[in-house]
């Protein structure tokens, strides 16, 4: 038979779009037998809908959402013969073929398990969290561990649809990434300083306007207090009512202006300072070799990805910051 990778390569060559418009991969064809994912495991092809096959829970340590397979006794099945497109004979033949392949690949599974155990003992052989920051500079795909402690474009290996053959050693990633992040932080500081110089006069005008509104409100409150004192002393005249209503309306307007101005005053600078502080803290963790998976994810959200690109020198690579859509 044809392997899932060969099928995926053929579909990509023919320009057939995959799920969500993404290129086809072997995992889209092969899927996970127990979870019912992948084309060859879709029960709908034999006219059966299945619900409650799995559930999602939060990992107690990382807080991430992970899937867990439910016992088969809890699955909910419904027969829909009108949607069948595959015969039972062909369906069972695929199941039999999967069982044969699983038996043959047991040694590989054992090897993967042993590799994970070794990685837990030797951190230098474990996947670095900073891989989450890296993307392929040519196809935009993910960067992962290839072999012998080197990281490169995983789409090139899995789908053969990318020509970026460059890779980077794991021991170099932290240093190189820290350099790119530090340079990005310097650019942020320069941009923040320039923004402050540009918006400084406008912010000063806002502060002056806020002071003027507060002084006007104090004058209104003194006027209202004077009227109330006069009424208490028995000096009320009908004309006071209209005047007090105008003062009260003016006080409401001024309080609204002050509340809004106090809330939004310097909000951009405040947000930028918080952004910079968080970015600096995460970069310090990278430089100290203490960055974890969550730190890498937050760095990518705040900073944007870093592209792995080839250079004119054979075997050499360069890391380039891919700026986010908002220009940061």
Query: Mean per-residue pLDDT for 289-301?
Result: 79
- C-alpha 187/C-alpha 305 separation (Å) is 16
Sequence spans of domains, the chain: 173-321
- C-alpha 192/C-alpha 188 separation (Å) is 6
Among 60-64, 276-280, 289-293, 305-309, the minimum mean pLDDT is found in: 60-64
Is it the case that residue 277 has pLDDT exceeding 50? yes
Structure-block tokens of residue 199: 């918006």
pLDDT number for residue 122: 45
Confidence of residue 72 (pLDDT cuts 50, 70, 90): confident
pLDDT number for residue 123: 44
Tell me which of 81 and 122 has the higher pLDDT: 81
Confidence of residue 270 (pLDDT cuts 50, 70, 90): low
- Least Cα distance to 305 among 166, 91, 139 occurs for 139
Query: Mean per-residue pLDDT for 133-157?
Result: 81
CA 50 to chain centre: 31
Cα dihedral sign, 188-191-197-199: negative
* Per-residue pLDDT tens digits for 178-201: 888 888 778 777 776 666 555 555
The Cα diameter of the chain in Å comes to: 104
Query: Mean per-residue pLDDT for 164-168?
Result: 84
Which residues have CB under 8 Å from 163's CB, separation 6+? Answer: 138, 156
Averaged pLDDT score across all residues of the chain: 78
* Per-residue pLDDT tens digits for 94-121: 888 888 887 877 776 676 666 666 555 4
What share of the chain in percent tops pLDDT 70? 80
pLDDT number for residue 169: 83
Confidence of residue 124 (pLDDT cuts 50, 70, 90): very low
Query: Mean per-residue pLDDT for 131-146?
Result: 83
Query: Mean per-residue pLDDT for 204-228?
Result: 77
Question: Does pTM top 0.85 for this prediction?
Answer: no
- C-alpha 325/C-alpha 311 separation (Å) is 25
pLDDT number for residue 248: 85
Among 138-152, 209-223, 250-264, the minimum mean pLDDT is found in: 250-264
pLDDT number for residue 121: 45
Is it the case that residue 328 has pLDDT exceeding 70? no
Is it the case that residue 40 has pLDDT exceeding 80? yes
Which residues have CB under 8 Å from 268's CB, separation 6+? Answer: 195, 199
Among 54-58, 80-84, 171-175, 195-199, the minimum mean pLDDT is found in: 195-199
What share of the chain in percent tops pLDDT 90? 2
């Amino acid at each position: 038979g044809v392997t899932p990778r060969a099928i995926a390569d053929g579909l990509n060559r023919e320009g057939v779009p995959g799920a969500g418009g993404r290129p086809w991969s072997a995992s889209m064809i092969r899927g996970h037998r127990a979870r019912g994912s992948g084309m060859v495991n879709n029960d709908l092809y034999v006219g059966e809908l299945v619900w409650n096959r799995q559930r999602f829970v939060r990992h107690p340590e990382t807080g991430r959402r992970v899937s867990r397979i439910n016992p088969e006794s809890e699955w909910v099945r419904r027969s829909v013969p009108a949607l069948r497109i595959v015969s039972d004979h062909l369906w069972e033949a695929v199941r039999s073929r999967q069982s044969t392949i699983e038996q043959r690949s047991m040694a590989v599974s054992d090897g993967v398990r042993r590799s994970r155990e070794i990685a837990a003992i030797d951190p230098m052989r474990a996947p670095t969290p900073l891989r989450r920051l890296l993307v392929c500079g040519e196809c935009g795909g993910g960067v992962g561990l290839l072999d012998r402690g080197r990281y490169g474009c995983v789409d090139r290996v899995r789908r053969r649809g990318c020509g970026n053959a460059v890779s980077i050693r794991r021991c170099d990633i932290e240093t190189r990434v820290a350099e790119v992040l530090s340079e990005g932080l310097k650019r942020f500081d320069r941009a923040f300083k320039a923004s402050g110089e540009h918006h400084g006069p406008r912010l000063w005008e806002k502060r002056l306007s806020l002071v003027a509104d507060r002084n006007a409100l104090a004058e209104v409150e003194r006027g209202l207090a004077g009227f109330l004192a006069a009424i208490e002393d028995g000096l009320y005249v009908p004309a006071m009512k209209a005047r007090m209503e105008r003062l009260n309306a003016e006080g409401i307007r001024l309080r609204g202006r002050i509340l809004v101005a106090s809330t939004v005053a310097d909000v951009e600078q405040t947000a930028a300072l918080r952004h910079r502080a968080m970015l600096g803290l995460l970069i310090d963790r990278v430089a100290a070799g203490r960055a974890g998976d969550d730190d890498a994810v937050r760095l990518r959200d705040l900073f944007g990805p870093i592209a792995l690109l080839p250079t004119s020198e054979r075997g050499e690579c360069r890391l380039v910051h891919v700026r986010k859509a908002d220009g940061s």
